[in-house]
Amino acid sequence: MNEFVVLGHRGYRAKFAENTIEAFKKAREYGADGIEYDSRLTKDGTLVVLHDDTINNRKLQELTYEELKQIRFKNRQTIPTVEEVISNLDDQALLNLEIKEVEAAVPSYKITKRMNAVDRTLFSSFKIDALRKVRSLDKSAKVGLLIEYDTLKYVEELNMEINLYSLNLWINALKENIELSKELMHKWKEKGFKIFLWTVNDPEDLHTFKGLYDGIITDEVEKIVEERNKIAKEKL
């Protein structure tokens, strides 16, 4: 049993076109326990996997799904739907679905449920209303707050309201004041939160915050998986 899970950030992003089926499959192939991916809605309400709200200088909300499928990445793949991603991965793959807009929250949950993947999905968002919507649909779904400085002071309050599963923390912000960050992470862990760190591409960070996280979201799947294996061997 691994001490922490490794999720490919938008797939195996360091080596493959992000948020494509190829990148997601390669993340699993190279040892990640699952993936982190993003959900947004097209003009005609299709739930697709795209990080930004624009593509090729056009707003996603102005494009239908059929128009979107005309756009190909360098690997010749197209932007997938959330449903396609889930169906193309094995049923053991862990999923962290970042809901990029409030309007995508309900479809994100409903499609994940229809695909029988709710139990292995963490629904995360910077947008608190998106998490509220997921929680209103399912009292036991795992919801994670992507932390910004202005939400830090509301963590306890939000937890009381929506029962957060995890806090998803930006590694660069944590490294600005390592000792304070460790103190906060320790406190949050004691309160029962799972801690996910993003985007961790330097294996050294695994040691800096050792024992204070449950999940690592990375572009560099092989590097982080390799370091996790080393850490596991040292414990033997």
Domain that holds residue 186: 5-235
Q: Token digits for 142?
A: 């795992």
Options 7, 9, 39, 221, the catalytic residue: 9
**Cβ neighbours of residue 172 under 8 Å, at least 6 residues apart?**
none
Give the integer Cα–Cα distance in Å for 53 and 66.
17
**What pLDDT, on the 0 to 100 scale, is given for residue 150?**
73
**Cβ neighbours of residue 173 under 8 Å, at least 6 residues apart?**
149, 181
51 annotated active-site: yes
- Pairing of the two strands 54-55 and 58-59: antiparallel
**What pLDDT, on the 0 to 100 scale, is given for residue 148?**
79
Give the integer Cα–Cα distance in Å for 1 and 33.
12
**What pLDDT, on the 0 to 100 scale, is given for residue 177?**
94
Q: How many domains does the chain have?
A: 1
Amino acid residing at 111: I
Q: What angle do CA 75, 77, 83 make, to 5 degrees?
A: 140
Contact criterion met (CB below 8 Å) for 211 and 2:
no
Please tell me the chain's helix, strand, coil percentages from 3-state DSSP, rounded to the nearest 5.
45, 20, 35
Tell me the chain's radius of gyration from C-alpha atoms. Answer: 17
Length in residues, the chain: 236
**What pLDDT, on the 0 to 100 scale, is given for residue 71?**
95
Q: Token digits for 204?
A: 């050294």
Amino acid residing at 59: K
pTM > 0.95 = yes
Block means of pLDDT (10 residues each) for the chain, length 236 residues? 93 98 98 98 98 96 96 94 98 98 98 98 98 98 90 90 98 95 96 98 98 98 97 87
Options 51, 69, 120, 223, the catalytic residue: 51
9 annotated active-site: yes
**What pLDDT, on the 0 to 100 scale, is given for residue 85?**
98
CATH number of the domain at 140, please. Answer: 3.20.20.190
